[in-house]
Structure 1
Amino acid sequence: MKKMRPIIQHINELSFAHCLSPSEDAPEASEDHSGAHFDDIDLANLRAEGTHFTQVVFTDVNFSDGHLARSHFNEVWIHQAQLIGTDLAETRWIDSQIGTSVLAGTALFDTEIFRVTFVGCKLTGVNLRGAELRDVSFVDCALREIDLSDTKMTDVTFPGSTVDDVRLDKARLHNVDLRDARAIGVASGYDSLTGMIISPHQLLDLAHEFALALGVTVSADEPSV
């Protein structure tokens, strides 16, 4: 397993912590934000498409039903955020961490997510179709009904996480390591499991999915004579 990036537990651990300034104004579309700290702000229904965030912190922020499509997040630290029904399609994430946050019905299709860690997050019904994930870790997360169809995933890990009803249709996996995941459940895309690394006991859990991928019928019925 590849070495995981250190998890940032507190703002003061950030390399750019000394540069942060409190911001009480909602970000606007197509603006550049650097060194800002958005804390305890309700940004529901925010319209800020195409915004660039560099070395920015969001704590206790509500992004529900917000529109941030095509925005860039570079060295962004997010903690205890609500991202319910948020439009983050075609966004780009680099060297960032999202912790103790809820993503439900979140649009993340056609995104680029590089060197990003999700910690203690709940992801439900998230649309990641066509996304590219590289060097991404889901740590102690709960992922349910995630659509990873047509994604390209490289060096992705799931330590301590549960993965349930994930869709992998036409996904391309390389070194996707699930050995430390608590549970795995694949809803569809059994033929895209090539490139996944699992443990021996997980192989037994996924035996039915592998049989389907190979076109093997498993039946407990007695053969007719």
Structure 2
Amino acid sequence: MPRDLADLPWARGLEPFDGAPEAEGDYERTHLTGVDIIDADIRNARFSESAITDFAMNRGSMRHTRFDDVWLRDARWVGTELADTAWQDVELLAGALSGVDAGGAVLRRVRFEGCKLDSVNLRSATLRNVSFVDCVLRDTDLGGATLTDVTFDGSRLQGLLLNNARLTRVDLRGAVGIDIADGIESMRGATITTMQLVDLAPAFARAMGIIVSDS
């Protein structure tokens, strides 16, 4: 994975973009940086072989926007609509998503590193070959989502919602903390360590209606 902007295969072809992106815009080989926007309408846009750095978006909508071969660093979304977006071959470094609606999003070959996801709605989303590295996921809602080949190395999961989620080859062994707020019965298809099983045992017992009492 590229660690710096200059490491991108298409770095030399990037063109600086002045201003804010617009709805239905097509941005190829574009470097969007230093942008802070509020209540913007960027629905149905497309970014390909592009870089987005030092970017902030408060509220507004990027619904149905596509990100193909995009590298993001220090990108922040607060209260933004990212529902039904499509992400493929994307890397997000040191990013933040707070109060974001990304329901129905499709993520394929996406890597989050050093990111914070706080109260993010990923209900009915599709995550395939997605990795969370050294991230914090707080109150993330994956209800009804489909996760395949997803890893969480060095990440902390707090208040995770998994109601009716479908997991296939989801590896939680690298997570440094797992707290399932609801839907623990949907963990079929996940791999955990023995210590993680011990930590999760009370939640499994509650889900199965088991009363644990030593008296």
TM-score, length-scaled by structure 1: 0.93
Counterpart of 1:186 in structure 2 is 180
Distance 1:57 1:65 in 2: 21
SS in 2 for 1:82: strand
SS of residue in 1 equivalent to 2:142: coil
Alignment partner of 1:213 out of 207, 210, 214: 207
Report how many aligned residue pairs link the two structures.
215
Of the three residues 139, 143, 153, the one matched with 2:147 is 153
Counterpart of 1:60 in structure 2 is 54
Asked whether 1:85 is paired with 2:79, we answer yes
For residue 135 of structure 1, what is the aligned residue in structure 2?
129
Which of 124, 149, 165 aligns to 1:171? It is 165
Q: Please name the residue that 1:106 is paired with.
A: 100
SS in 2 for 1:83: strand
Q: 1:195 aligns with which of 179, 184, 189?
A: 189
> Given residue 99 of structure 2, which amino acid in structure 1 is its aligned partner?
G
Structure 1 unaligned spans of 5+: 1-5
**Which residue in 2 is equivalent to 1:3?**
none
SS of the aligned residue for 1:205 comes to: helix
Per-residue deviation, 1:17: 0.7
Q: Which AA in structure 1 matches 2:154?
A: G
Q: Distance in 1 between matches of 2:37 and 2:88?
A: 22
Q: Report the Cα offset of residue 50 of structure 1.
A: 0.5
Code of the residue aligned with 2:84 in structure 1: it is E
| Aligned amino acid, residue 118 of structure 1 | F
Which residue, out of 35, 58, 61, partners 2:29? 35
Contact 1:190 1:212 in 2 (8 A): no
The Cα shift of 1:82 comes to 1.5
Alpha-carbon shift at residue 213 of structure 1 (Å)? 2.9
Residue-by-residue CA offset, 1:126-153 (whole Å, 9 max, x unaligned): 0000000000000000111000000000
Pairwise CA distance, 1:219: 2.3
Query: In the alignment, what sits opposite 1:12?
Result: 6
Structure number having the greater strand percentage: 2
Gaps of 5+ in 2: none
2:63 to 46, 69, 73: 69
Match of 2:197, SS state, is: helix
Letter in 2 for 1:50: N
Q: What's the % identity of the aligned pairs?
A: 40
Q: Write out per-residue CA displacement over residues 84-114 of structure 1, whole angstroms, 9 at most, x where no aligned residue.
A: 1111000000000111011100111000000
Secondary structure of residue in 2 paired with 1:46: coil
Report the Cα distance in structure 1 between the residues aligned to 2:81 and 2:146, rounded to whole angstroms. 20
Q: Tell me, what secondary structure is at the counterpart of 1:80?
A: strand
Asked which structure has the greater CA Rg, the reply is 1
> RMSD of the alignment, in Å?
0.9
> Who is 1:204 aligned against?
198
Verify: 1:125 aligned to 2:116, yes or no.
no
Structure 1 residue 196, shift from structure 2 partner? 0.8
